Amino acid sequence: MSAISPPAERIWWKQPIDKLEFTWIAIAFVWSLVMFVMMVYWHVAGGQNLSNETYKTTKEMFAAKAQAVVDKYTVRAGTAAEKEFPVVAPPAGSDIYLIGRLWDWWPIYELEKGKTYKLHLSAMDYMHGFSLQPQNINIQVHPNYDHVVKITPNQSGTYSIVCNEYCGIGHHTMVGRIYVK
Amino acid sequence: MATTYRICPRSGLQFDTDAEKLMRWNAVAGVLALLLGGIMALGVILTRWPAVHLLPADQFYLALTSHGINMLLFWIIFFEMAVLYFASSTLLHCRLATPKIAWAGFWLMAIGAIMTNVAIFQGESSVMFTSYVPMQAKPHFYLGLILFAVGALIGCFVFLGTLVVAKAEKTYEGSIPLVTFGALTAAIIAIFTIASGAVILIPTFLWSLGYIREIDTIMYRVVWWAMGHSSQQINVSAHVAIWYAGAAIVFGAKPMSEKVSRSAFLLYILFLQLASAHHLLSDPGVGSEWKVVNTSYFMYFAVLASMIHGMTIPGAIEQAQRAKGYNKGLFEWLRKAPWGNPAFSAVFLSLVGFGFLGGISGVMMGTEQLNLLIHNTIYVPGHFHATVVIGTTLAFMGLTYFLVPVLFKREVLFPGFAKLQPYLFGLSMYVVALVMMGAGTLGVSRRHWDMAFAGSGMAYEWPGAAYLMMGLTGIFGVIAIIGGAGWILQVVLSLLFGKKLDDGETRSTPIPLTLPPQTGGHAAHVATPGTMVLALVFLVSFILYYFVNWKYLSSLWGMA
């Protein structure tokens, strides 16, 4: 009798388990526990965990907060290659607001290596995807939610923010920038 | 109403006439969806191949929406309905419960599938398979999906009803076969899935009509993915059941242990649906505790189940082969397997590809923190082409080679091509999955028309390796599509022009299944060292790859 017929022995649940089969189950079980503990362990000891700090917001409220930071800390107007967006250099430790909208990431921030910032993410219309390259850190960005992520850049350079959540016909043009000094 | 039963002279299987017709129609509808999805795949792959970049942006997103929905919902669920009717009525030798209602379900599914496709091809509904709010499709896009889901739900209940009929009319003795048990697992998960789909798609439909003002985006993703991911878990249960069936049909293999295999299916029922969380690991608004418990299917119990099936199926094959005398060394049983029989080679390639490529990558990216490296990159479709295309579609293709003579009573045309088809389609898909994952590791986005960012003010330049990987995705994607198109052509031509085979005896009453007399003792025990070695190779690859990614994560910007 095979797998497409009823089990030949009516009392199949009393059949002994093959030794190798049992060994494999035990190994697989231990590995499952290791992987589970690994996630918990990283919350305690790891340096890269996605923050749970989220607030309900509105598009107007979030845009106003972003505008306030831009008004206060803009260091220069962007060049044509920077879409003439304001380049903003807030002090370490401050709250910075990044707007995702069709089809820009606004504004451009200039951060210091090794310093921590509270990055607020929200979208003005559809959902967007914050994809920091070439780091490859990827975070979903929702409208009407303010997601606060503490970031600490560990290398200087020019970083791009690619949008990786489909947001319409101009999705592929939605790229932003962060400078780390 | 009386039905009749046909005894297939080639397989000895007994088909209820109503069920048989439903199986044929569902399988054909599935293949039509696969055909449409396959044509769309060609448009998608030729656009993402940077050197070709075929379609304009609007047509690309339209093709991608249609590809996703036709493949992930219509092809697979139509075929699964056929599998459910087969696993209940045929394997239990009984009549199908309420065939008229089953037909109503089929037509609802068909109308729904057509309606949604019409909406997509009219344009203005290029919202992707996921249709995330607040991007809005036309109302009949959602309505078609709802009708399809209701039809599939009816199919699930007809399946459950048929199990009741078989039990009540005593058409079998003892417990239901393992394959039916796997199909039952699939049906239970399907009911959960479809209910979740209704919970989110009905309000979204009303929103598209203007009766509801707003749908919360986080709520949408949580509930939608309870359908979107769980629907792929129906596939896992169904194709694992087909792996067991394949081993049984080709080798007469008996499960190593009914207890272990059935417990593993039970773990699927209990934990597999938690996977909605896999899509929310990089989202705000859901806490880490929720993410950790759910993404791991509560401590990886569903992964444990898959690792068990991954070992017991080759183990059962090894036992059957060794019992036939292929006993030399560790791997004679595998070397002497019927590699030219597509029903076997498809199952084997499906199992290995699902485990090594789909399984390992899925667990890696389903780890809460590691998901930050992967979320919405083309790694994700790389992973699910390994699970759904190599795992599910290839297994279904292999089963079809068995079904054409048995269910459709036609000889398979071009048997030489049939021998090669699983390798052509399967192995090129292995490469596609791998290079997509490679490009995703470098950050390349999924669902993205132009990796050169034409027209963007601040274009980012991907490394050359990313372009190379996407080029390879294009080349091997086209080869895979040729392999898939060849399969469709072969099946369709065989159904139309293959030599008609003898119907076999038709009876008005079913022959019940009886068990052989109980011997009391156990069959001679056969050890499976070869399978254990393969399993350990798998484990070592798994562990290495898992920790390499933690190493990569630890080099990134600090985040808290």
* Alpha-carbon dihedral B112, B113, B118, B120, rounded to 10 degrees: 110
User: How much is the pLDDT for B276?
Assistant: 86
State how far Cα B106 lies from the chain centre.
Answer: 20
- Taking an 8 Å cut-off on Cβ atoms, the answer to whether A46 and B369 are in contact is yes
In a domain? residue A6: no
pLDDT in tens, B199-227: 999 999 999 999 999 999 999 999 999 99
Distance from CA of A71 to the nearest CA of B (A): 22
Would you state the structure tokens that stand for residue B130, as one six-digit string? 């996921």
Listing DSSP states for B259-324 in one string gives HHHHHHHHHHHHHGGGGGGGGSTT-SSS-HHHHHHHHTHHHHHHHHHHHHHHHHHHHHHHHHHHHT
Q: Which of B345-349, B432-436, B525-529 has the lowest mean pLDDT?
A: B525-529
Contact predicate A150/A179, CB 8 Å? no
Is the same domain home to A61 and A40?
A: no
Which residues of chain A are within 8 Å of residue B283 when distances are taken between CB atoms? 140, 142
Listing DSSP states for B367-389 in one string gives STTGGGGTTTBTHHHHHHIIIII
Is the same domain home to A26 and A66?
A: no
Q: What is the mean pLDDT of residues B415-433?
A: 97
Chain B residue nearest residue A176, CA to CA: B458
Which element (helix H / strand E) includes A106? strand A104-106
Is the same domain home to A62 and A40?
A: no
Q: Could you give the number of structural domains in chain B?
A: 1
Which residues of chain A are within 8 Å of residue B292 when distances are taken between CB atoms? 36, 39-40
Considering chain B, what percentage of its residues have pLDDT values greater than 70? 98
pLDDT over 80 (residue B524): no
Q: What is the mean pLDDT of residues B434-440?
A: 98
Which residues of chain B are within 8 Å of residue A166 when distances are taken between CB atoms? 61, 128, 447-448
Residues 6+ apart with CB under 8 A from B436: B378, B379, B381, B382, B385, B469, B473
Chain B residue nearest residue A9, CA to CA: B518
Which residues of chain B are within 8 Å of residue A16 when distances are taken between CB atoms? 522
Average pLDDT over chain B reads: 94
Is the same domain home to A155 and A111?
A: yes
Between the alpha carbon of residue B491 and those of residues B125, B399, B404, B410, B414, the distances in Å are: 32, 12, 8, 10, 10
Is the same domain home to A96 and A17?
A: no
The CATH number of whichever domain residue A140 belongs to comes to 2.60.40.420
- Single-letter residue type at A114: G
Q: What is the mean pLDDT of residues B523-536?
A: 89
Is the same domain home to A32 and A58?
A: no
pLDDT in tens, B239-279: 999 999 999 999 999 899 999 999 999 999 999 888 889 99
pLDDT in tens, B355-364: 999 999 999 9
User: How much is the pLDDT for B22?
Assistant: 97
Tell the residue number behind the tokens 């044929």, with chain if given. B24
Q: What is the mean pLDDT of residues B308-326?
A: 95
Q: Could you give the number of structural domains in chain A?
A: 2
pLDDT in tens, B26-82: 999 999 999 999 999 999 999 999 999 999 999 999 999 999 999 999 999 999 999
- Taking an 8 Å cut-off on Cβ atoms, the answer to whether B177 and A42 are in contact is no
Chain A residue nearest residue B364, CA to CA: A35
User: How much is the pLDDT for B513?
Assistant: 85
Is the same domain home to A98 and A137?
A: yes
Distance from CA of B339 to the nearest CA of A (A): 21
User: How much is the pLDDT for B520?
Assistant: 47
Dmax over Cα atoms in chain B, in whole Å?
78
Chain A residue nearest residue B171, CA to CA: A6
Listing DSSP states for A36-49 in one string gives HHHHHHHHHH-SB-
pLDDT in tens, B100-123: 999 999 999 999 999 999 999 999
Predicted complex ipTM? 0.96
Which residues of chain A are within 8 Å of residue B304 when distances are taken between CB atoms? 25, 28-29, 32
* Nearest Cα residue to A104 out of A79, A75, A130, A133: A130
Is the same domain home to A86 and A32?
A: no
Is the same domain home to A119 and A154?
A: yes
Instruction: Identify whether B284 is preceded by a cis peptide bond (ω within 30 of 0).
Output: no
Is the same domain home to A29 and A63?
A: no
Phi then psi for residue B5, to 5 deg, are -125, 135
The CATH number of whichever domain residue B57 belongs to comes to 1.20.210.10
Chain B residue nearest residue A165, CA to CA: B376
Cα-Cα-Cα-Cα dihedral sign, residues A93, A95, A100, A101: negative
- Taking an 8 Å cut-off on Cβ atoms, the answer to whether A164 and B287 are in contact is no
Range of the domain at A130: 54-180
Is the same domain home to A94 and A149?
A: yes
User: How much is the pLDDT for A173?
Assistant: 97
- Taking an 8 Å cut-off on Cβ atoms, the answer to whether A175 and B453 are in contact is yes
pLDDT over 90 (residue B523): no
In a domain? residue B186: yes
Cα-Cα-Cα-Cα dihedral sign, residues B286, B288, B289, B290: positive
pLDDT over 60 (residue B314): yes
User: How much is the pLDDT for B518?
Assistant: 56
- Taking an 8 Å cut-off on Cβ atoms, the answer to whether B217 and A127 are in contact is yes
Q: What is the distance between the alpha carbons of residues A148 and A94, in angstroms, rounded to a whole number?
A: 12
In a domain? residue A4: no
- Taking an 8 Å cut-off on Cβ atoms, the answer to whether A18 and B527 are in contact is yes
User: How much is the pLDDT for B139?
Assistant: 97
User: Over B146-161, what HEC string results?
Assistant: HHHHHHHHHHHHHHHH
**Sheet strand arrangement including B14-16:** B14-16, B5-7, B506-507
Considering chain B, what percentage of its residues have pLDDT values greater than 90? 91
Between the alpha carbon of residue B295 and those of residues A85, B263, B288, B395, the distances in Å are: 39, 21, 10, 26
Task: State the pLDDT confidence band at A8, using cuts at 50, 70 and 90.
Answer: confident
